[in-house]
Structure 1
Amino acid sequence: MTEEGRPEVPTRTLVEGMVRADGTVDAGELYAVAGELGMTDQQVRLCIKRMAADGLLVQEGRGRRAVLRETDRARRAAEPEVDFVRHMYAQDAGLAPWDGRWHLAAFAVPESARAARDALREFLVRLGGAAVQGGVYAGANRWEPYVEAEAERLGVGHCVTLLTSTDLRVGGESDPLRLARRLWPLDELADGHRRLAAVAADRLARLTGRSPAPTRVERLAVALELAAEFTRATADDPLLPPELLPRPWPGAEARALTADCWRLLRRAERDDPAPDPRFFRRYDEAMTEITGEPHGS
């Protein structure tokens, strides 16, 4: 959070968030939204320059009249994690109950492939895995297809063993609730969700209490703040099923408030002829299947 209590939106998140379905960014609108978020033009220019140097953007034109085009590399890196967002809301709706199985991944990657080993370890953590002991990670959700695909991509598929267990014991502890608290920092995760809930509740009040209605630039700024705080709260969340979490769990409330904000934003965007940023549709795809309500309606 900034000193003013406003969520911090990384400049790169801003640029990536403004990419439209055709892979372009209108620089004029980008700078306008950046100003609404309290960013300077210099910040944005430096970010564009870095992303261009990294092969993620191509700039056509100069200044606010420019058009930015994402490269194929950027498009692949920005593939939406729709499956994970969808799973969060399915859990909250009681549509993804835990089957009592722990999912385990073990690997023995030689020192000669240290980079691949480190990358695989980081990938398992991003999927919600917790280290049980050296080279062994546990998760509560089905992750086998993702782990196998990443291990093969890294060239270490032959070094990975996957299995499930209904009788996991760690240091003599086998109670699922106590195991979850032992393996994951639930208090820290809960604090992150409470911050998201506070931001979403504040933005929901602004969206429903404003007269005249927020402008497109203001709406885009709110959407990016929500997306940044949502990512911040869920980045390290293992997405444990409700059966393994303390009750009440603040994550469900935070996501519900975020969805309420998103509905209002999408309804306003529906009547705007300007192209939507692509990430709007990412959230739509993830949420609509669970709620049954098209979020642009």
Structure 2
Amino acid sequence: MIGAPISTRSLVESLLREDATIDAGELYAVAEVLGMGDQQVRLAVKRLVTEGRFTCVGRGRRAVLTATDATRADIEPDRAHVELAYAQDRGEAPWDGVWHLAGFAVPEAEREARAVLRETIRALGGGLVHGGLYASAHAWEDELRGAAHAIGASEFLTTLSTADLVIGGTRGAAAAQRLWDLDDLADGHRRLADTAAEALDRAPHAAHPERLALTVGLVAAFDRAHAPDPLLPPELLPRDWTGARARDLARRAWSTLAAAEADSPIRLLRWFDAPLQPH
């Protein structure tokens, strides 16, 4: 097994080439390395075509899938998130000491709007201060106001910023540890580090399908580690934060895999090139 389990749908989308197509023969070969059977892949492709996410010409391993415009837009990586993570690791994004807070009080009759606001805040890495009030170390006002406006809930959203956030008598890094479960986040990064180390060890001797499988597994592990990560600045994290080490291993693994697959048109091998580079 390469890293944690990967869904067949994620595998299919990961093998998109620069021309928005997927070579089914390559798909089945990589799926085999990941322990997926042909029937599992066929069913996933059929569902994706039925949902209108891909079109398909041909059958079986000779088929060619083409992503629809909506699919291409959906599976682009969050480059800004990746860029911020690596910029912080390089010391290029020092924290200004400002906390950004957001709160909402939504009537019961508008509970759907309440759910949207809560999920938007969580997706942006908000830490729960207390009921209805969340904090972030990063400016998020534009995204929150945009989401509230889109659902007609602007009147329910409150935002403010402060350089003096005190939670239960704690400030700074101690306050951050009360807002986010750093142990859980660290576990996710340790799993990423293990996946990246495995990729580095296996890539030089791997065949083409295995290298692609290693790339898919690496990106999946990166996404799992970073989806819940608020990307706290180093000033709010423990020393020798495992996230920075994991990202460095991931960067080295990506570079190794991309160099070994220099002629491959798979977009996944190039997606993170720019965010990983110093500016």
Task: Kindly state the Cα deviation for residue 146 of structure 1 after the two structures are TM-superposed.
Answer: 2.2
Task: Kindly state the Cα deviation for residue 282 of structure 1 after the two structures are TM-superposed.
Answer: 2.0
Please state if 1:285 is matched with 2:263: no
Which residue number corresponds to residue 295 of structure 1? none
Q: Which amino acid aligns with 1:205?
A: D
Task: Kindly state the Cα deviation for residue 23 of structure 1 after the two structures are TM-superposed.
Answer: 2.0
Deviations 1:33-65 (A, max 9, x none): 111111111221222223233332222222112
Q: In 2, are the aligned partners of 1:55 and 1:73 still within 8 Å (CA)?
A: no
- Out of 11-20 and 180-189, give the one that drifted further: 11-20
Task: Kindly state the Cα deviation for residue 130 of structure 1 after the two structures are TM-superposed.
Answer: 1.2
Q: Could you tell me which of 211, 216, 235 is aligned with 1:243?
A: 235
Task: Could you list the structure 1 runs, at least 4 aligned residues long, displaced by more than 4 angstroms after superposition.
Answer: none
Which residue number corresponds to residue 259 of structure 1? 251
Please state if 1:195 is matched with 2:185: no
Q: Which amino acid aligns with 2:247?
A: R
Q: Could you tell me which of 94, 101, 104 is aligned with 2:98?
A: 101
Q: Tell me the distance in 2 between the aligned counterparts of 1:189 and 1:151.
A: 28
Please state if 1:229 is matched with 2:225: no
Q: In 1, are the aligned partners of 2:102 and 2:158 still within 8 Å (CA)?
A: yes
Which residue number corresponds to residue 261 of structure 2? 269
C-alpha RMSD of matched pairs (Å): 1.8
Taking structure 1 as the reference length, what is the TM-score of the superposition? 0.87
Please state if 1:207 is matched with 2:199: no
Q: Could you tell me which of 41, 47, 67 is aligned with 2:38?
A: 41
Q: Tell me the distance in 1 between the aligned counterparts of 2:214 and 2:73.
A: 26
Instruction: Give the direction of change, closer, same or farther, for the CA distance of 1:10–1:150 in structure 2 (3 Å limit).
Output: same
Q: Could you tell me which of 48, 52, 66 is aligned with 2:63?
A: 66
Q: Could you tell me which of 173, 177, 181 is aligned with 1:181?
A: 177
Taking structure 2 as the reference length, what is the TM-score of the superposition? 0.93
Please state if 1:112 is matched with 2:112: no
- Matched residue SS, 1:287: coil
Q: In 1, are the aligned partners of 2:57 and 2:63 still within 8 Å (CA)?
A: yes
Q: Tell me the distance in 2 between the aligned counterparts of 1:90 and 1:84.
A: 10
Q: Tell me the distance in 1 between the aligned counterparts of 2:80 and 2:259.
A: 24
- Matched residue SS, 1:147: helix
Q: In 2, are the aligned partners of 1:131 and 1:137 still within 8 Å (CA)?
A: yes
Task: Kindly state the Cα deviation for residue 5 of structure 1 after the two structures are TM-superposed.
Answer: 6.9
Which residue number corresponds to residue 159 of structure 2? 162
Q: Which amino acid aligns with 1:275?
A: P
- Matched residue SS, 2:160: strand
Task: Kindly state the Cα deviation for residue 126 of structure 1 after the two structures are TM-superposed.
Answer: 1.5
Q: In 2, are the aligned partners of 1:167 and 1:174 still within 8 Å (CA)?
A: no
Q: Tell me the distance in 2 between the aligned counterparts of 1:43 and 1:224.
A: 17
- Segments of 5+ residues of structure 1 without an aligned counterpart are 293-297
Please state if 1:26 is matched with 2:23: yes
Q: Tell me the distance in 1 between the aligned counterparts of 2:19 and 2:113.
A: 33
- Segments of 5+ residues of structure 2 without an aligned counterpart are none
Q: Tell me the distance in 2 between the aligned counterparts of 1:126 and 1:253.
A: 24
Task: Kindly state the Cα deviation for residue 93 of structure 1 after the two structures are TM-superposed.
Answer: 0.5
Instruction: Give the direction of change, closer, same or farther, for the CA distance of 1:14–1:287 in structure 2 (3 Å limit).
Output: same
Task: Kindly state the Cα deviation for residue 233 of structure 1 after the two structures are TM-superposed.
Answer: 1.1
Task: Kindly state the Cα deviation for residue 227 of structure 1 after the two structures are TM-superposed.
Answer: 0.5
Task: Kindly state the Cα deviation for residue 109 of structure 1 after the two structures are TM-superposed.
Answer: 3.1
- Matched residue SS, 1:59: strand
Deviations 1:203-242 (A, max 9, x none): 212224x2xxx33212111100101111111111111111
Q: Tell me the distance in 2 between the aligned counterparts of 1:225 and 1:279.
A: 11
- Matched residue SS, 2:164: coil
Q: Tell me the distance in 2 between the aligned counterparts of 1:117 and 1:74.
A: 28
Task: Kindly state the Cα deviation for residue 252 of structure 1 after the two structures are TM-superposed.
Answer: 0.5
Q: Tell me the distance in 1 between the aligned counterparts of 2:154 and 2:60.
A: 47
Which residue number corresponds to residue 136 of structure 2? 139
Q: Tell me the distance in 1 between the aligned counterparts of 2:15 and 2:74.
A: 15
